Structure 1
């Protein structure tokens, strides 16, 4: 039994399975498939198994004008003749304006919503659209064994504990901002993306360090996108640390406020239809911000820091650091990168997300 995967490894398998379109099984008795990666053959098999549902978040339900009897989510009965295009239309808002009528949609009230909650949590963790096809299984473990499927306890899928992080390697890396640069790599136990810390100089561990929690932004950091202020914030933070001779920039792989690059591009497409960044996230079924800033606090702790001067315009980061045991002795403003393409985006961050701009 020593070679068998533990629960963390099973969850990692489940995320990978869902991304490939392979179903997973919840111990409570449900077969789960991600709506985004579902194919026609598996949909037909699900329909043949009996009454099925598609679970979506209350944000997506609000867009579709269907009641969310379960509070944070709703379970829509899957029509017996549901086609793959119908499932995709429920999950993905890309064609909502062109085809606003998806119904009639019948929300279920019977039974527990916990399996659906676990299923949505798994699809989010897999960086997929938060929508899951579900069908009840009378003998979930035997079904999983006969079909070679991953079994996940509902409680594990819903757990919010932070995965431990291990320091993997650190090496000298001269930068434009400072030749005294050093890159640290941290790997979480749960098989998710690695996170990085850029250390400038040799900041003392017993004093507040100039720090920034920077979420990965491929479009802004790498491509120089003008739709956000991420690239200028990244370079501005490093430049300020270089000028002071010391600092730590945490580069957290939480693209698109934690929804992943593909979903971020979906949000951009919705913004082109006239929705702001928060409205776009909601239409996709996500919260305003799905990031976990506890990761940054844990990396700082592993590096020996207990207090920071935090480079941020986001009060939520300050609160999360303090809540996680890293004292924020000063918030250092970082107001850079506004242009005619992102003015509305920054205004939305100020008005709806509380950013101090």
Structure 2
């Protein structure tokens, strides 16, 4: 790493693509982590929209801590697994987390041995090494201290697309202890660095840079995350289907594939993806199109010689049942659907089609004629060994009632 500062400008929020800013592959990033090199991990624009210097905890040095403090300028933290934090009896900092992105800060720590004031680069590196030492016991760590552990969610970035989980996942994939050290990157003027400035910083210091989105895609493509549970014939009002149940081994949700005909060589299979919406699918709410979309999907798929309706048992667009009813309540008070969603903190689209892609692959689907009015949502499926050969418009009539936009697209 070069040791001179870079005159980065103020923040700029842009839509970024890997080809625009020289992002590295996840494989290259993992190799760098394994060798003890620091990398930059870029968050999603809909979250913190920042970049963190990231290194494996197993590879920490005083020099790395000093680089983070001098050039990163953010808070230096230590993402760890729930298991290791429990072993060291390191509790969460607060019992009720009200942080915007639910960052799980724990009580700060410090190694009792081999440290002085605890704040120097050497002392903080010693604290990290102590936390990684299997011989370390809770009594060996002082509380509070100058190192801030972060509790990573089980399932990593597949459950929470955060810097904490990314650091733990990268270390684990590299074959190291699942823990890291991270630090946000700030500009010279104190503002947060965004992708253009991060790319400049990465080039100056010769650091690989990846996005959390690419790490998610990598894990979805390399790890088996669904398990086939059961299958049976299912006669319906629309015709007979072959229903197959799958379990998501990370979140334990059960998803269903309604298969029509024989998949055969898997080429050109008609596919429709529908995300669960209880009020629409079951109670036939007129405030969203979901129920009508599901009925129309079954009818349309039943007409094909071979097709799949994939029913994902997850909340469409991050809208839980409670939030859905809360959105209705806010609409009753005069808010529009978009304003209601913003009020309760629902982001535009949090659905994860990676699980669906693994299910389709398991069914034998290789190329799809997809039923959707929003084909852009599915462009990433090719990363999972699927291709889209045709996008077929799918139209369902609207209702006169105000709509919460929960459709499957």
- Which TM-score applies when normalising by structure 2? 0.49
Distance 1:110 1:309, change over 3 A: closer
1:51-109 CA distances to partner (integer Å, 9 max, x unpaired)?
xxxxxx9989xxxxxxxxx6569xxxxxxxxxxxxxxxxxxxxxxxxxxxxxxxxxxx9
Q: Which of 330, 341, 364 pairs up with 1:270?
A: 330
CA offset at residue 240 of structure 1?
1.3
Where does residue 246 of structure 2 map in the other structure? 186
Corresponding position: 1:177 with 2:238: yes
Distance 1:199 1:137, change over 3 A: same
CA offset at residue 198 of structure 1?
0.6
CA offset at residue 327 of structure 1?
1.3
Q: Distance in 2 between matches of 1:184 and 1:256?
A: 21
Q: Which of 82, 86, 107 pairs up with 1:136?
A: 107
State whether residues 248 and 355 of structure 2, in contact with CA within 8 Å, keep that contact through their aligned partners in structure 1.
Answer: no
Distance 1:231 1:240, change over 3 A: same
Q: If each structure's helix is expressed as a fraction of its own residues, which one has the higher value?
A: 1
Where does residue 270 of structure 2 map in the other structure? 210
CA RMSD of aligned residues (A): 4.0
Q: Distance in 2 between matches of 1:328 and 1:212?
A: 12
CA offset at residue 313 of structure 1?
1.1
Secondary structure at the aligned position of 1:220 is classed as: helix
Distance 1:156 1:193, change over 3 A: farther
1:299-337 CA distances to partner (integer Å, 9 max, x unpaired)?
111111101111111223331333433211111122114
Q: Distance in 2 between matches of 1:257 and 1:244?
A: 28
State whether residues 318 and 331 of structure 1, in contact with CA within 8 Å, keep that contact through their aligned partners in structure 2.
Answer: no
Q: Distance in 1 between matches of 2:331 and 2:383?
A: 33
Q: Which of 326, 331, 341 pairs up with 2:386?
A: 326
Where does residue 22 of structure 1 map in the other structure? none
Corresponding position: 1:165 with 2:129: no
Secondary structure at the aligned position of 2:287 is classed as: coil
Q: Distance in 2 between matches of 1:132 and 1:270?
A: 28
Secondary structure at the aligned position of 2:262 is classed as: coil
Task: Look at both structures and tell me which one has the larger radius of gyration over its CA atoms.
Answer: 2
Q: Distance in 2 between matches of 1:223 and 1:137?
A: 48
Q: Distance in 1 between matches of 2:235 and 2:245?
A: 16
Q: Distance in 1 between matches of 2:107 and 2:310?
A: 43
Show the 5 A alignment for 1:1-357.
Answer: 71=49, 111-112=75-76, 130-131=101-102, 134-138=105-109, 152=152, 154=164, 155-156=167-168, 160=216, 161-162=219-220, 164-179=225-240, 181-342=241-402, 345=404
Aligned length: 235
Q: Distance in 1 between matches of 2:226 and 2:358?
A: 8
| Structure 1: runs of 5 or more not aligned | 1-56, 61-69, 74-108, 119-127
Distance 1:332 1:267, change over 3 A: same
CA offset at residue 237 of structure 1?
1.2
